Amino acid sequence: MSGQPDQALPRGVKLLHDPVRNKGTAFTEAERDLLGLRGLLPPRVCSPAEQERRVMGNLRAKESDLERYIALISLQDRNETLFYQVVVNHIEEIMPLIYTPTVGKACQQFSHIYRRPRGLYISLQDRGRVREILDNWPHRDPRIIVVTDGERILGLGDLGAAGMGIPIGKLSLYTACAGIHPTQCLPVTLDVGTNNEAFLNDPLYLGLERRRERGPAYDALVEEFISAVADVFPDALVQLEDFGNCNAFRLLAQYRDQTCLFDDDIQGTGAVALAGLLGALRISGGELGEQRVLFYGAGQAGIGIGNTIVAAMQDQGIPREQACGNCWYFDSRGLLVSDRDDIPLQKQPYAHDHAALDDFAEAVRVLKPTAILGCAGRAGVFTEAVVKAMAELNERPIIFALSNPTANAECSAEQAYSWSDGRAIFASGSPFGPVALGNRTLVPGQGNNAYIFPGVGLGAIASGTTRVTDEMFLAAARVLASLVGEEDLAAGRVYPSLSRIREVSALIAAEVAAIAYRQGFARAPEPADLLADIRGRMFQPVYPHYA
């Protein structure tokens, strides 16, 4: 833009306080004169690269990752372009700070480190006024809404309104990893109370000071929210995030065929784990339909992964009953077997005819799985006995410790490698560094949903789809698995480098959009070159010119 500034553009201090338009010390001399900034900034004009160096220097000087998180969120609150420039250019260093594992600690401390509001809070006190609250959002075209009720934050449990850090973090990844414009991202927390005793006794807790609501009042608030979004923001995709098991499966089943909606903990986790398993099979050999998978944990993540694996097997022509029989679950009551009482609906396909077992290592020895996947948030349950049993049964045992944050991982990368004499194919939910073993360096893969959900969201926006289908997540998993290179596999890594995440997201988005067109859910005109169209839509963290 040149000449006179846009009449809608704020001037002076208001412009410096607008995180979307602010350039900080990068405003040029001409822009400072044109926009009333002369004297409000130090005299030197800094390049974006110089600003980035300053940010990274300050970050690396901090004494803890939580302090780095606070510094990054503060940067996001004052200069979003610079924030995303830093994230994109240093994704492997920054992602663990703005998302798992650091975001878990940030959520636990949310009420104590709170600085500036971000997103929308909708509580039980707001019933009947949800549309009015959505109208208060300053950006009129949100395309991605991440909503949580804070009941199952990572592996940390019920954090109530303090769970807002998760939608904020997820949407930062939508922008950094898939180029969805920051103004098209809306984080939402449904505050229905908390059963976290520490929070209820904390005078600084920012949420409702009451126990968590269940039943009709809860359902009515969710229904009002979904209806209001469809009315106020009809082009938005809704991502359910970190709902408790008692609500996640039923809410997904209730709304997925009514609106453009998915649950990342169920579907996104399923897709990223399937991609990792497909990558692992390129190392170990064998076909997907030949695998026997034993899960530790039968919550959203575990069942979501099982459902995705079963769907992939069915797609290869394997009957559903046989595919379900390849997936076994060990939960808080031991091995999931058919004669157990009160089996929840989502677990029933995986309750097999077998004697009860209450020791996981014994379950490994008896069932002889080719892969074990941990998704219950129970640190250390993949013991030395478990890993050694897997190594005795398999030349290349597949061991995925997927629970977040890092402190909840079922085992560490070093443990998996050392206890298996370096033969384990390991992946985790939170990052672990390379492990030196003898004359080799093994690089563990990180099965982070950030490989999946940003691309799915970008594909949904590009096509204007009215639904998000299971086929889209299967396709996303296959695309991700196909991008694992031979060098990755040689190092033991079953996911591509995070440095390629924007390429990964673009390719997933193109496949998701293509499915939306084939299935008849797309509302946008189909472009001649879908991938080029998607790449052209991706937000680049580059300052605009105002003069």
Structure-derived torsion over alpha carbons of residues 466, 471, 475, 477, reported in degrees to the nearest 10: 110
Whether 246 and 152 have beta carbons less than 8 Å apart is answered as: no
- Nearest to 194, CA basis, from 186, 185, 183, 206: 206
> What distance in Å separates the CA atoms of residue 147 and residue 149, rounded to the nearest whole number?
7
How do beta strands 327-331 and 334-335 pair? antiparallel
What is the side-by-side order of every strand in the sheet holding 327-331? 334-335, 327-331, 293-296, 371-374, 398-401, 425-428, 445-446
**Which residues does 99 contact at the CB level (< 8 Å), separation at least 6?**
169, 170, 172, 173, 448, 450
Among 23, 105, 170, 347, which one carries the catalytic annotation?
170
DSSP 450: G
At 352, give phi and psi (nearest 5°).
Answer: -100, 160
With contact defined as beta carbons under 8 Å apart, do 71 and 62 qualify? Answer: yes
**Helix (H) or strand (E) run with residue 250 in it:** helix 245-255
Q: Tokens 């934050």, residue?
A: 153
Which of 84, 99, 205, 495 is flagged as catalytic? 99
Among this protein's residues, is 170 annotated catalytic? yes
State yes or no: is 99 an active-site residue: yes
The token duo for 104 is 């878990």
Residue 434 CB contacts under 8 Å (≥ 6 apart), including other chains: 441, 442, 443, 444
What residues are annotated to the active site?
Answer: 99, 170
